[in-house]
Chain A
Amino acid sequence: MRRLKERRSAPDETVDIDPRAMGALIEQSQDIHRNAMTVTDDSLTEMVESGREARANGEIDPEESRQVAERRSRMMTGAAFGGGLLAAAGIGAALQGLFASEAFAASATDVQILQTASSIEVLAVATYKTALTLPFIGGSSANPVVKAFATTTMQQHAQHLSAFNAAITQLGGKPQTNPDPALGKVVQAAVPGLTSPGPVVALALELEQGAAETYVADVAALSDLNAKKVTASIMGVEAQHASVLLAVQALLNANAPQLITLAAGNVANLPAAAGSVGFPQAFFPTDQARPATEGALS
């Protein structure tokens, strides 16, 4: 997806790190996470109520919601502005019908968007799970920080999946448990080449960047306030995953895996460019966002 340069693979190399310290850090982060989960739980609880209201309006019409999704997709890319009003005026009766059940259709569209998000999370969990079976990611020869990152990130994606699917259920839709079909092909094609940390990091980066960009686009497309809140609470986390992977990738490509460590004082050893490699853009793009219905259930 990104214009990532081919770099030579870094040799497998372990670094000195205190596993207990790493464990403590993970534990701390999990405590913080539990606090953050409270906020998300509140959003999901609120969503239950709005979902009940949506369901009271009747069954979801997939075709109608697809039309709305397409309209929203155009809005996301900005194409609707400028010619949007004229185009809308041209569809007359159809638009009237759409507006007559706008809240209902919007809810169905939200479900599709959330199902696509779930499908991305399913794939992310599976990809990290596979990566962790590789000796240089999850085995004894792995960099401890990379291993901890892959493990924790997989868990975080599983939590994202649960949150998205809970949101879908509460809006009256079916949870998505299958991977995004288009991205799945990308992962499948990449698997044979996962012979060293570099390609694994590149693949993970592609998934994380795609997820983050999709959710950034989603928050502008979602109608349900709580679906929007849940998605907003996840998009920045995926961006952080991408940020870490950019830094790791840069250090691997520079043949400096020993600098991938959380050891105190390590920052003094980092090259100057490492200070900005993790946030290459002042504004997060959406050009790699996945189509809103890509992972939707038909």
Chain B
Amino acid sequence: MRRRTQHNDVLAISERELTVMTEDLDQMHHDIGMPAMNAAVAEWTEKIRTSRRGFLIGAGAVAGGALLAACSSGSSSPTTTAAPKSSPSGGSSSGKLTGDLAVAALAASLENLAVAAYGDVLTAAGAGKLGTVPPAVATFVTTAKGQHAQHAQAWNSAIVAAGHPAVTATDPVLTPVITADFAKVTDVPGAANLALMLENVAAETYQNAISVVKATSSVKVAASIQPVEMQHSAILYFALGQYPVPNAFSPVTGARPLTDYTG
């Protein structure tokens, strides 16, 4: 009994201190991370505005072909969640997107899927369908969901700047798989495993994109997001009781192909 009391005391201290630290880090994010990202996105969109036929769009066939070749083995897929939030075209003229913009569209659709999946986890948790949800898991889901929404916005910035509607669809190939798998999830570890798959797929897709896209600004955007998805994965591994950094070199075998979005 005494030991239990001490444990609770420790946790009470932890919560306060960790909350302060999280607030510090959140402030740091706005001080450092966002301005850097805003600069990269501004650079990205400016290139498109000043040259609609510039290399983001014009890089087209070569970049797309390379990504397809690199990712063709990654089409056997995983998991869960909600039904597609919109049609594969997402109301956008996806057929016209090529090159770096096609990569951005695929990435935005993956981010939309992550946002939807985490949203469904929160809904299921609220309805008591996942059993007891630890506070740290709730924080993780809420924070990761918010970051994925920011990533989607970043990817869409180039698409919108090029005169196309923002991609609002979820990855049309992965979505039914995720939906089916999520229907089977009954607890927090199940949801965490599903999230882990999505995070790894996103990270591997963006890592692959770094060697595929043509514009330096496109590389910068992908490079600023990939490590964050990797960090999400590390914390999920830890939450699942698995070693949090399983690879010395992150693979790309799970990267999604452009055909996920462009058909």
Contact = CB atoms under 8 A, between A and B. Distances in A.
B257 to A, nearest CB: 16
A219 B15 CA distance: 38
Interface residues of A, number: 83
Interface in A204-237: 212, 216, 219-220, 225, 228-229, 232-237
A71 B45 CA distance: 22
Contacts of A33: 246-249
**Most chain B CB inside 10 Å of its own CB: which residue of A2, A152, A279:** A279
B52 to A, nearest CB: 18
Nearest to B188: A267
**Most chain A CB inside 10 Å of its own CB: which residue of B25, B143, B223:** B223
Nearest to A76: B220
A273 B147 CA distance: 16
A283 B134 contact: no
B95 interface: no
A235 B226 contact: yes
B249 A275 contact: no
Contacts of A262: 238, 241-243
Nearest to B31: A3
**Most chain B CB inside 10 Å of its own CB: which residue of A28, A255, A265, A271:** A271
A23 B80 CA distance: 31
A269 B11 contact: yes
A254 B230 CA distance: 25
B10 A256 contact: yes
Contacts of B137: 267, 275
A276 interface: yes
Nearest to A284: B227
B86 to A, nearest CB: 23
Nearest to B47: A81
Contact of B216 (A36, A220, A280): A220
Contacts of A25: 242-243
B223 A284 contact: yes
Given A26-B243, A253-B17, A256-B11, A279 B207 contact: no
Given A216-B224, A240-B231, A267-B134, A281 B29 contact: yes
B14 A159 contact: no
B146 to A, nearest CB: 7
A232 B11 contact: no
Nearest to B22: A273
Nearest to B221: A283
Contacts of B230: 236-237, 239-240, 243
Interface stretch (B32-40, B54-62, B115-123, B157-165): B32-40
Contacts of B40: 78
Contacts of A7: 17
**Most chain B CB inside 10 Å of its own CB: which residue of A152, A159, A250, A254:** A254
A36 B250 contact: yes
Nearest to B216: A220
Contact of B223 (A159, A220, A276, A278): A220
A243 B234 contact: yes
A82 B181 CA distance: 49
A29 interface: yes
Contacts of A78: 39-40, 43
B136 A271 contact: yes
**Most chain B CB inside 10 Å of its own CB: which residue of A3, A152, A232, A256:** A232
B33 A285 contact: yes
B233 interface: yes
Interface in B232-263: 232-235, 238-253
Interface in B185-210: 188, 203, 207, 210
B136 A163 contact: no
B101 interface: no
Contacts of A283: 33-34, 36-37, 150-151, 154, 224-225, 228
A262 B142 CA distance: 23
Contacts of A240: 230-231, 233-234, 244-245
A274 B18 contact: yes
Contacts of A148: 243
Given A236-B207, A237-B250, A277-B25, A271 B226 contact: no
Given A247-B238, A256-B14, A271-B14, A236 B33 contact: no
Interface of B: 10-11, 13-15, 17-19, 21-22, 24-26, 28-29, 32-34, 36-37, 39-40, 43, 46, 132, 134-144, 146-147, 150-151, 154, 188, 203, 207, 210-211, 216, 219-220, 223-235, 238-253
15 contacts: A28-B242, A33-B246, A81-B43, A152-B243, A156-B245, A220-B220, A243-B235, A271-B136, A272-B136, A274-B18, A277-B25, A279-B143, A280-B22, A280-B26, A282-B33
Given A243-B235, A255-B10, 18 more contacts: A33-B246, A35-B253, A36-B250, A75-B216, A232-B223, A240-B234, A243-B234, A254-B17, A258-B10, A262-B238, A263-B241, A266-B241, A275-B143, A276-B140, A277-B22, A282-B228, A284-B33, A285-B33
